[in-house]
Structure 1
Amino acid sequence: MADAILYGVAQSIIERLGSSTIQQIGSIWGVKDELEKMNRTVSTIRAVLHDAEEQQVESHQVKDWLLKLRDAVFDADDLLSEFSTHVLQQKEMDSDKMPNKVSTLFSSSNQFAFGLKMAPKIKAMRKRLDDIAKDRKNFQLTLEDRPLETRVLTRGRDQTHSFVRKEEVIGREEDKKAIIDLLLDFDMEENVSFISIVGMGGLGKTTLVQYVYNDEEVTAYFDLKMWVCVSDVFDVKAIVEKIIESATKKKPQNLEMDQLQDVLRKNLNQKKYLLVMDDVWNEDEERWCSLRTLLLDGSKGSKVLITTRTKLVADITSTVSPYFLEGLAENQSWSLFKQMTLGKKQEIDNPNLEAIGMDIVEKCRGVPLAIKIIGRVLYFKKTEAEWLHIKNNELTNVTQLRDGIIPVLKWSYNHLPSHLKCCFAYCSLFPKNYLIDKFTLIQLWVAQGFIQSSEENLQLEDVANEYFMDLHWRSFFQEAVEDQGRNMCFKMHDLIHDLAQSISRIECTLVDSKAKNVNEKVRHLSFPFCHSSFFKENLTLLVKANKIRTFILTSNPHLNSFAEASYKQSVDDDDFISFASVYLPSMEGRVEKSTLKTLILTFKYLRVFDLHGLQMEAVPKFVGKMMHLRYLDLSYNYFEFLPGSITRLVNLQTLKLIHCQKLRELPKDIQKLVRLKHLHINGCKKLTHMSCGLGQLTCLQTLSLFVVRKDLEGSSKHYGELDELKKLNELRGKIEIKNLAWVKDATSKSKAANLKEKQHLSELELVWNPDDNVGIEADHDDEGLLDGLQPHQSLKLLRVEGYRGVRFSSWLSSLTNLVKLRVENCKKCQHLPPLCQLQSLEELHVRKMDGLEYISDQDIIASSGSSSTKIFPSLRVLFLEDCPNLKEWWRRDIVDNGDVATTSTSTSSSHQYQQQILLPYFPRLAALIIQDCSKLTCMPLFPNLYRFSLRNASWKPSQQTMAMTMNTDIESLPEEWPQNLISLERLDIWACPRLTSLFRFMHLPSLKNLTIARCELVDQLSDDTECHLRKSTCLQTLVFTGISKLESLPTYLQHVTNFGSTI
């Protein structure tokens, strides 16, 4: 990792030295020449890093030189960071003292004080770097002054071939079948289709494709088969030569590119061919297109099968969805292991040896190459002691053998551009199997200075996100879970984690709780354990590593996951109390204040300091001395206030205070944190107000909570009001605005918040706290307030709670990108604005709306802007709860075009009814939950429903949804339901007092789960239709609950043979 980190830090130094501020200071201090010399020296050092990194593998002298250089470059970076910090602090002091006068930063007294202290340090640092740079000549290092990220390593990998013995392939039958199905698919639109198989190194992509390539059915289907190994050098001419050689069995001799393309096209013309391109790394789309054009002359059904480690290559090359190859199942892994360790003998006689072997296989996590490598080692070792030795030395040691898995994965790493290498290696700080949050990781990368951008208008976080996605595409991250596009959590495969640790070496250390030593040169520390006593007992040990830049706690994955969950959605106090009682005590006591003081004063170069979950009741004031700090996590602690000294952290970018349940207020001078970008305060339930001056933090991107002070009479001098949001137009992600009922001058203040200009916000929660009405003005203009809080139309999620107006703002209908809408506890609201225009809406939740009579008061067809009866084309989840006066979806009784009609009280056949009436319908609705809506009588149709839950509600909405008319007191399922609900898999029926028959429920063709609750007459179920139930479909689970009279199940259920359970 040395080349990547040193290159990044060196680049950072060069950028700092070139800044106008540093140059101005240099002139004043009389060290301008020294700074310019330092710039030239660092530029020279940067230029030889490429060669030095390669030579250190064979030369201990070069390795020692790189270690000396590493320390010097880090120290130089710290020195320049100190300069920048003093400048920022001085500016803040001057702005406080003389807001209307010119800054005194460069006054004579300041010149003398700063110059006297810093000039000697600059000269000494410049000389130190010069001396190290001169030593490079001893090693004849080659100057190569170009960015590492443009450099492609060309160390070759062994050429692959198309042959594999069937007995060598274990556990890939399903994968083989899936790929063969793709190859033999004749109905693809293109004549020539391009299919990618994506997976990390060692998964067996090549072996699988060899298996497919030699399948008899595949061979019979294609007129021509070709195999080429592309590897890392994507030379179009060389690849074309390989394809021709594979097709003709003759190597083309001395042909120019034009001649080669002619030969290739003639060989492919009107032939249904299969071309395997194994091990493709090229990410240059233009190069790919220049080759692809030459491959399009095959007849319909031709396929090009590509194997790659990166999703990015698949995105560039594939015309169909890539096939992502996973690891082997446990039993398949065990079979492969036995094959490699035992040869023809397939069983292990020694049970102890078998147990050790299974533990080793588990460590391999289904990666065939790892299993093979270890199996080959164990083949020559027969005793328990030998196997235990290999097991206990872990896979890192085993797989560093010649041609092992780590060299293969390291080869993958070598292909990373330099800006990704340090980002990837930094991930070694997280324990294995740790669920890492993408946003957190991005903030850590930025804090360490790993992220650079030459574009002034591009946020570093956006660049870091691209870095992350690049690593994900290259299969370095896996098991990614995305939260509706808002965030992503992921893990690293154990072997990928081993790779990261082998690369990071002394840079990053996961501290063992039983450790007796910590390398003094380490720069990043992680503590994956819960013993707070460790810090006191090993203080002497820790303080020796006094130049660390990262101190993070990775001991409690529960806190990690709960923090992210609380950010994505509201977490109740009860949930947190329950959570804390179980998990927070696992920290085993508080860290003593004296220990914290020692750590803070010792680790003065920290960029990242994580103290979450330590049960601190007070934050030490000494934290203000950590001038280099960029990231501070104080989440899940018990303090009520933050020390004023925290505002001296002028470099701070991220401040996390998640679920600090007792925190009452933020620092009064928060505006001094001029570089603050992320303020995480979600879950701070006792926060009473926002600090005045918050609006000056124009770099702020994350502000998860904004609290309006509950005081209409008091002075606002020290309390931030809504207009603090006016200039915060870089906000993104989620913001919750609380206590809106207490906003003074509601209309003007809400407009001043300027939410309409915050185009990066994706989630907005507006909360009125309707239960807290004491002291609130009766004539408070809630409707004007809501009108003024109009967000940008790019908003994805909106929640409105406790709103006290009668009507909703019309801007709600203009949020065309809205994906999720929650409206709750708005007791006076009688209807919502037209929502049919929200074509992207996927979820709609309406709860506790006492005054709501109609979802819309307009013609449901006219308001959708379409003559079609299809409405809400994207809606998948609809939740209606506790709306006691909700009558219908739309207000009008009859739309005068024959498309819509209200409930009829007469009974008629389904055929006659559908001839007369066609109700609007939700084309994609999958889940419908209706609870405590007793007056609801008319709803649109939902033909593709998967889940339907009805609780304490009239049956009328369900009847009407099926385009049916029946008596209100339903006794059995309407006969039209089975033909209308063909996709329904789950049905919950609650509190339907006259329901007696379940017969037609058995005919819902896709129904798997049926729950009947509080339906007291269900014990009278009839058995007279038993013969028809012998053809019942896929019901698996039947649940009866709250039915006191039910003594036994009806006899006809014995003929439903698919039951998994009956409760």
Structure 2
Amino acid sequence: MAEGVLFNIAEGIIGSLQKLAREEFGLLYGVKDELKKLEKTVKKIKTVLLDAEEKKANHEVTEWLKSLEDAVYDVDDLLDEFYTEARWRQMVIGNKISKQVRLFFSSSNQLVFRLKIGHKIKEIRETLNVIETDRGFHLDERLQEARVLTRERETHSFVRKEEIIGRDKEKREIVGLLLDPIPEENVSIISLVGIGGLGKTALAQLVFNDETVKKHFELKIWICVSDKFELNVLVKKIIESAPSRTQGNLELDQLQNDLRKLIDGKRYLLVLDDVWNENRGKWLSLKSLLMGGARGSRILITTRSKVVATISDTNKQYILGGLEKKESWSLFKQMAFKTEQESENPSIKEIGEEIVGKCKGIPLAIRTTGRMLFSKNQENEWLAFKNNDLSKVNQEAIDILPTLKLSYDILPSHLKHCFAYCSLFPKDYEIDIKTLVNLWVAQGFVKSLDQSKSLEDVGYEYFLELAWRSFFQEVTYDEFGMISSCKMHDLMHDLAKSMSGMEITIVVEKEDNFSENLRHVSFDYSIGLWLIEKIPTSLLRAHKLRTFLYVDEYLLSFHDDGSIKSFCNAIASNFKSLRMLSLYALDIRALPNSVRKLRHLRYLDLRRNPIERLPKWIVRLQNLQTLNLSDCDMLVELPRDINKLFNLRHLMVDGCIRLNHMPDGLRELTCLRTLDRFVLSEDSCITGGGAGLGVLNRLNNLTGSMSIENLWNGKNMVSEAISANMKEKQSLTSLSLGWKENITSDVNEAENGWLSSLTNIVNLSLKECKTYASSSASRIPFFPSLKKIYLWNCPNLKGWWKQSALIGSPTTEYEHQHIQQSSLSFPCLSLLDVWNCPNLTSMPLYPHLEDEAVLG
């Protein structure tokens, strides 16, 4: 991964150097000449990196790249520090805060800063020059690949038949084993064994959904086991996967009783997918609970290990091989060609069949390679791929990573480290796409050459390209057709891990042998608690760490303030290059002052901490792009001068139930894309205190969802709402509006008309709304994009139009025409949810309602 990552960083460095020159910060601090020399050196390095990447570096080159890596990262940190300091000084001097501040930025102090930064630049440049000239190596040899074991994943029982090619014979044979009445035991075990990527899960899904199988078994249950083979966990999964589910955290004795009630006397089929457990004692404990089924019950295990099949007392092992040549070609054609005619080109077909042969019948390898070649239409491109890439792969039947790596090798540089970075997430982890993109942006992986495109939009395009190349799977979509989450196949995760080498690791157990080359680390619940007690010495030596990520969702810390403070101090003192820091749910009441040292920080995750106020110094973290304060239920206010966080793009405060107003400085954060909650102060309707909706006027880059709380009725509210300029926020798709509960006065349509500017909103919630409109229906569409509307606890709400058609059937020709006009107000509505709105008597109709309206 090194050459791709460094190439991209080098590009970023050159851009930063040129930006500094344009803004004359270099001239201001007297280091312009040194910056120009540094830019020249980095450009030479970039050329060599491109050569190394294109020609596939050998081991010697890899060692050279490692020596270069620290120096390049040092340049990145130095320029980041220089630019941040310069911008801060410019801001403070511009504001003319105090005499003491002006003295601090006197010519003498500027001289000290110039000497310090100049010395650092010169030192790093000289280091780069030495490394750049020391490259007496051959760049035409391959990197030696490291093999890694695969581990955990998650599966489900559904599969589309048309997606499974060439497994009809295997399906018939396994179905035959499941229906075979010969075994003497009531419950017999069948193991489906094969290497990763062969399609064991897909075949088991196909069998599980077979109509004959459905009719034969009274009860069918699908469980993904993976490496978490614990009795209580598995029993709970089995019970919850059955039609009659048990909820709650029950004790093992109760779970055992429920399991026996579920299966005793019934002919059942239980699929245990992806089993790794080789502890016979654990298996016997589970098996004893599963033997109560009626005669003919079956347990189908899928596993990569024959040892697992043996210790599981398997009655029959079914060894799954690769696809036959014909089926392999058929699958490859689906992936690689747009039309059947293209696949019949004799020369292309000959090359394609040679490529398919290298995949050894492994469906995942065939799919990945086919996807990779889909956009390569010319014969010479296919031939070059076969001769220059595939022929160098030492393909073995027990290891498909070399084949999978082909798709990685041809990735553009900017996608290589985006993919490798995903090895931070555990296998089977459901990756939230917005979070992933924000993490990529925080690490500087995303570059936008088009000024009209945001970094987040470009990052999403990066993800789509990786997903198209089959680096991700099990994608889910939101209601707008955007991918909201995904998972990685375990083999792809292995590939990502092998590409990241020693730079990225998931801490899965207590250890103290971390590499000093480590740059990104993640951990889960149990490890998080362990790290708070004592961070391992070897981890503290990884001074270049850029990511400290907590990926679990259930960490609850019960440590005292001293332990938490010590933990944070250790992080801030040793990992000064951090771009991302997760302090999720650590019971932090006051953010330790040491965190202010993290000047490079882009992403700070403080979710679920009982913080009342953020420290004033947090605005010195000027590079901060994402500040996640979700569910900090003790937080009462945000920093007044939050405008100094001029790079802030995402501010999440959903669940901060005590937050009672917003700072006026928000109005200056025009880069803001996420603001999920806006709270009007309690006295805004009386005194105008606190930030009003006018703060939102220029925040036109907001996207996604936002709630606005503590609205009131009256002319003041109308002017407030108009000043928010909501019609310009075209990327805002979901809006929840909540009124003050003690406001009961009615208003007329003119005062409520500001809502009509929300023409782009898809989801709308109105809570505690006491308004009604008084004029006749309008011919102008009210909410042309609206798909879902929620009206909750609006006891005085009477409707949009006083004379609008009642919810029901028309009785006169006039009403019929009136309904046709009114229906334009919700031309796309698919869901209407009304709760506690007893006086609601008039609503525009919703002719395209797909889901049932919920009226309560």
Q: Could you state the TM-score of these two structures normalised by the residue count of structure 1? A: 0.56
CA distance in structure 2 between the aligned counterparts of 1:31 and 1:925, rounded to whole angstroms: 65
Query: Hey, what does 2:585 align to over in structure 1?
Result: 613
Change (3 A) 1:228 1:737: closer
The SS at the match of 1:441 is helix
CA distance in structure 1 between the aligned counterparts of 2:443 and 2:840, rounded to whole angstroms: 55
Determine which of 411, 420, 437 is the counterpart of 1:416: 411
Superposed CA offset, 1:97-142 (max 9, x none): 169xxx9999744642321211111111111111111112x12559
Question: Residues 228 and 278 of structure 1 are in contact (CA less than 8 Å); yes or no, is this contact kept in structure 2?
Answer: no
Alpha-carbon deviation of 1:833? 4.6
Question: Residues 578 and 601 of structure 2 are in contact (CA less than 8 Å); yes or no, is this contact kept in structure 1?
Answer: yes
* 1:85 and 2:56 are equivalent in the alignment: no
Superposed CA offset, 1:385-439 (max 9, x none): xxxxxxxxxxxxxx99677221121122223222111111101111111111111
Alpha-carbon deviation of 1:4? 1.6
Which range is displaced more, 609-618 or 164-173? 164-173
* 1:428 and 2:423 are equivalent in the alignment: yes
Alpha-carbon deviation of 1:725? 0.6
Question: Residues 624 and 647 of structure 1 are in contact (CA less than 8 Å); yes or no, is this contact kept in structure 2?
Answer: no
Question: Residues 688 and 710 of structure 1 are in contact (CA less than 8 Å); yes or no, is this contact kept in structure 2?
Answer: yes
Query: Hey, what does 1:210 align to over in structure 2?
Result: 326
The SS at the match of 1:684 is coil
Change (3 A) 1:78 1:863: farther
The SS at the match of 1:756 is helix
Question: Residues 17 and 39 of structure 1 are in contact (CA less than 8 Å); yes or no, is this contact kept in structure 2?
Answer: yes
Q: Which amino acid aligns with 1:515?
A: E
Query: Hey, what does 2:521 align to over in structure 1?
Result: 525
Alpha-carbon deviation of 1:550? 0.6
* 1:757 and 2:728 are equivalent in the alignment: yes
* 1:44 and 2:41 are equivalent in the alignment: no
Determine which of 534, 539, 544 is the counterpart of 1:542: 539
The SS at the match of 1:832 is coil
Change (3 A) 1:515 1:782: farther
Alignment of 1:878-957 (within 5 A): 878-884=832-838, 925-931=850-856
Change (3 A) 1:697 1:668: same
Q: Which amino acid aligns with 1:139?
A: F
The SS at the match of 1:45 is helix
The SS at the match of 2:446 is coil
Greater C-alpha radius of gyration: 1
Superposed CA offset, 1:788-842 (max 9, x none): 34444222111112222221896993321112111233333323359999xxxxx
CA distance in structure 1 between the aligned counterparts of 2:664 and 2:16, rounded to whole angstroms: 32
Change (3 A) 1:711 1:246: closer
Change (3 A) 1:418 1:768: same
Query: Hey, what does 1:510 align to over in structure 2?
Result: 506
Alpha-carbon deviation of 1:72? 0.6
Query: Hey, what does 1:119 align to over in structure 2?
Result: 118
Change (3 A) 1:854 1:681: farther
Alpha-carbon deviation of 1:315? 10
Change (3 A) 1:207 1:637: same
* 1:243 and 2:359 are equivalent in the alignment: no
Change (3 A) 1:608 1:585: closer
Question: Residues 310 and 475 of structure 1 are in contact (CA less than 8 Å); yes or no, is this contact kept in structure 2?
Answer: no
CA distance in structure 1 between the aligned counterparts of 2:348 and 2:125, rounded to whole angstroms: 59
Change (3 A) 1:277 1:881: farther
CA distance in structure 1 between the aligned counterparts of 2:694 and 2:524, rounded to whole angstroms: 43
The SS at the match of 1:94 is helix
Question: Residues 789 and 833 of structure 2 are in contact (CA less than 8 Å); yes or no, is this contact kept in structure 1?
Answer: no
The SS at the match of 1:534 is helix
Superposed CA offset, 1:598-622 (max 9, x none): 2112211111011111111221123
Question: Residues 368 and 404 of structure 2 are in contact (CA less than 8 Å); yes or no, is this contact kept in structure 1?
Answer: no
The SS at the match of 1:798 is strand
Query: Hey, what does 1:968 align to over in structure 2?
Result: none
Query: Hey, what does 2:75 align to over in structure 1?
Result: 76
CA distance in structure 1 between the aligned counterparts of 2:719 and 2:344, rounded to whole angstroms: 72
Alignment of 1:617-766 (within 5 A): 617-712=589-684, 719-741=690-712, 745-766=716-737
Question: Residues 708 and 739 of structure 1 are in contact (CA less than 8 Å); yes or no, is this contact kept in structure 2?
Answer: yes
* 1:500 and 2:616 are equivalent in the alignment: no
Superposed CA offset, 1:757-778 (max 9, x none): 11111111111032x34xxxx7
Superposed CA offset, 1:218-265 (max 9, x none): xxxxxxxxx989979x9x9xx989724699x9x9xxxxxxxxxxxxxx
Alignment of 1:264-663 (within 5 A): 404-485=399-480, 488-531=484-527, 532-554=529-551, 556=552, 559=553, 583-585=554-556, 591-663=563-635
Question: Residues 725 and 753 of structure 1 are in contact (CA less than 8 Å); yes or no, is this contact kept in structure 2?
Answer: yes
The SS at the match of 2:134 is helix
CA distance in structure 1 between the aligned counterparts of 2:321 and 2:712, rounded to whole angstroms: 60
Change (3 A) 1:759 1:126: same
Give structure 2 stretches of 5+ with no counterpart: 141-164, 175-201, 208-303, 305-319, 358-365, 378-393
CA distance in structure 1 between the aligned counterparts of 2:723 and 2:444, rounded to whole angstroms: 35
Q: Which amino acid aligns with 2:723?
A: A
The SS at the match of 2:345 is helix
Q: Which amino acid aligns with 2:73?
A: F
Change (3 A) 1:127 1:677: same
Question: Residues 677 and 701 of structure 1 are in contact (CA less than 8 Å); yes or no, is this contact kept in structure 2?
Answer: yes
The SS at the match of 1:70 is helix
Query: Hey, what does 1:815 align to over in structure 2?
Result: 783
Change (3 A) 1:853 1:922: closer
Which range is displaced more, 543-552 or 111-120? 111-120
Q: Which amino acid aligns with 1:69?
A: L
CA distance in structure 2 between the aligned counterparts of 1:780 and 1:922, rounded to whole angstroms: 29
Query: Hey, what does 2:94 align to over in structure 1?
Result: 95
Question: Residues 735 and 763 of structure 1 are in contact (CA less than 8 Å); yes or no, is this contact kept in structure 2?
Answer: yes
CA distance in structure 2 between the aligned counterparts of 1:862 and 1:61, rounded to whole angstroms: 81
The SS at the match of 1:720 is coil
CA distance in structure 2 between the aligned counterparts of 1:878 and 1:789, rounded to whole angstroms: 18
Q: Which amino acid aligns with 1:650?
A: Q
Change (3 A) 1:451 1:859: farther
Identity of aligned residues (%): 38
Q: Which amino acid aligns with 1:27?
A: L
CA distance in structure 1 between the aligned counterparts of 2:354 and 2:818, rounded to whole angstroms: 53
CA distance in structure 1 between the aligned counterparts of 2:62 and 2:803, rounded to whole angstroms: 66
CA RMSD of aligned residues (A): 4.6
Question: Residues 878 and 925 of structure 1 are in contact (CA less than 8 Å); yes or no, is this contact kept in structure 2?
Answer: no
The SS at the match of 1:481 is strand
CA distance in structure 2 between the aligned counterparts of 1:539 and 1:655, rounded to whole angstroms: 27
CA distance in structure 1 between the aligned counterparts of 2:526 and 2:205, rounded to whole angstroms: 42
CA distance in structure 2 between the aligned counterparts of 1:885 and 1:164, rounded to whole angstroms: 62
Alignment of 1:783-862 (within 5 A): 786-807=752-773, 813-833=781-801, 861-862=816-817
CA distance in structure 2 between the aligned counterparts of 1:681 and 1:22, rounded to whole angstroms: 36
Give structure 1 stretches of 5+ with no counterpart: 143-162, 178-201, 216-226, 252-274, 281-305, 318-398, 560-582, 838-851, 891-919, 932-1063
Superposed CA offset, 1:997-1032 (max 9, x none): xxxxxxxxxxxxxxxxxxxxxxxxxxxxxxxxxxxx
The SS at the match of 2:471 is coil
Query: Hey, what does 1:962 align to over in structure 2?
Result: none
